[in-house]
Amino acid sequence: MTYRFGANDQFNYEILLALGSAWRRGADVGEVLSTAATLTRGDGEAWVRAWGGLGRRVRERAEKCAAQRRAVSARDAYLRAAGYFGMALVAVDACPDPEARLRELFAEHRICFDRFAAAGNPPAERVTIPYEDRTLPGYLFGPPDRTGRLPTVIVNNGSDGPVSAAWTLLGAPAVERGYRTLLFDGPGQQSLLFEHGVTFRPDWEQVITPVVDFLTARADVDAERLVLAGISQGGYWVPRALAFEHRIAAAVADPGVVEVVASWWPNLGPDLRVLWESGDRETFDRVLREAMAESPELAARWRRRAKPYGVESPFDLLTEVSRYTVLPVVHRITTPLLITDPEGEHFWPGASARLFDALPGPKELIRFTEAEGAHLHCEPIGRARFEQRVFDWLDARLGIDSGAALPGPGGALEQERKFS
């Protein structure tokens, strides 16, 4: 990575995401940098204490502002606090009592995000989406001073991102451009996993179709202009769903993902992959568990990534993750799909181009580079550039005019400057 804040790659990346979220008021650059400066050893417990402590301090500030009827200050502070609690959650599996820490921090994270959402203009609507024998919790945001049926973006989060990140990465820019925006937790994500133990499923169309059913039944949603946009592992969820759900008008995968398991092998090495491919389940599990016993960092990372699948055996887990591939169904995708291809993509390198080449229907591949500051997985510090390119593409696809005409070169504002 170009920018370093410590030896731990995951923690370094989370700091970059936080800095990028400042573009959408999801963090304060000074708060992030001053906290990051105290973390140099990559220690999970220290990470949780630092970001959880910052979250609590900012939450206290938000509550004081709310008590004083300082609505804007309170709203902004609640969003920042939610983001910092979300950062703390990244390392709970490295703590002595991970489940207790997770419950505590996740509750604080959601309280802060709920209060942020309720303080919006207009306030977000808390929704429950019928799904099999339960419901999916979500938030439906809308732009100010807009009524009637509006184009709507369904934000499909990744494997472990907090809802506050879904807001800053995709929700906020969509609302600013006049879209309604739905954030929701699907199986294996956030509240469904942490509070109800509901795990991932590879057939994600079984999740998105109920979401589309829910939105198309509403009088404030334009059913002909629905967008499905996926973050991180959402780059798999989106094309998988599109292969079966054809009521989506346009979609975004940031980045493209062909086979989810491809992100697991670099951390395990070629020898373990050969052993897994041999089918020797007993030896594979023993070797990997011995490696985790010697490396607390590996063990914590494994627990965090394994949790949403609900599979104990390492061999069986990788077998399950290998089912998450779009190759058998990619030929069914007809929805226009934009795929981001950031330079330095470290989870699924090369997958965006591979997905693009496999798609039979309308498609576009957008390259983001280090030279423009928009590189790395999900373009963490290139958000303005990302929003401009992705939402301009969506607006064009859906026939949306997201603002009044602006004067070009020689226009009224420029002439006023020349003669003033």
For the chain, give every domain's residue range.
7-120, 122-259+324-399, 263-321
- Whole-angstrom distance, CA of residue 241 vs CA of residue 258: 13
Compute the chain's Rg from CA coordinates.
Answer: 22
Contact call for residues 359 and 330 (beta carbons, < 8 A):
yes
Helix (H/G/I), strand (E/B), else coil: 252? strand
Tracing tokens 């799909």 back to the chain, one arrives at 337
Question: Which residues have a Cβ under 8 Å from the Cβ of 389 and sit 6 or more positions away?
Answer: 366
Domain 122-259+324-399 has CATH 3.40.50.1820: yes
With beta carbons less than 8 A apart as the criterion, state whether 208 and 226 touch: no
Question: Could you tell me whether strands 363-368 and 150-156 are parallel, antiparallel, or unpaired per DSSP bridges?
Answer: unpaired
In this prediction, residue 418 carries a pLDDT of 41
Residue by residue, pLDDT tens for the chain (420 residues) are 568 888 888 999 999 999 999 999 999 999 999 999 999 777 999 999 999 999 999 999 999 999 999 999 999 999 999 999 999 999 999 999 999 999 999 999 999 999 999 999 999 999 999 999 999 999 999 999 899 999 999 999 999 999 999 999 999 999 999 999 999 999 999 999 999 999 999 999 999 999 999 999 999 999 999 999 999 999 999 999 999 999 999 999 999 999 999 999 998 889 999 999 999 999 999 999 999 999 988 899 999 999 999 999 999 999 999 999 999 999 999 999 999 999 999 999 999 999 999 999 999 999 999 999 999 999 999 999 999 999 999 999 999 886 654 555 554 444 444 433
pLDDT at 414: 44
Q: What is the pLDDT of residue 164?
A: 98
Residues recorded for the chain: 420
Query: Which CATH number fits the domain 7-120, given the four candidates 1.20.1440.110, 3.40.50.300, 3.40.50.720, 3.40.1350.10?
Result: 1.20.1440.110
Beta pairing partners, 135:
130
Q: How many CA atoms lie within 13 A of 109 on its CB side?
A: 26
- The pLDDT, as a whole number, for residue 408 is 57
pLDDT in tens, 25-48: 999 999 999 999 999 777 999 999
Residue 25: the pLDDT is: 98
Q: Which amino acid is at 149?
A: R
Longest distance between any two alpha carbons in the chain, whole Å? 81
Tally of CB atoms within 10 A around 211: 23
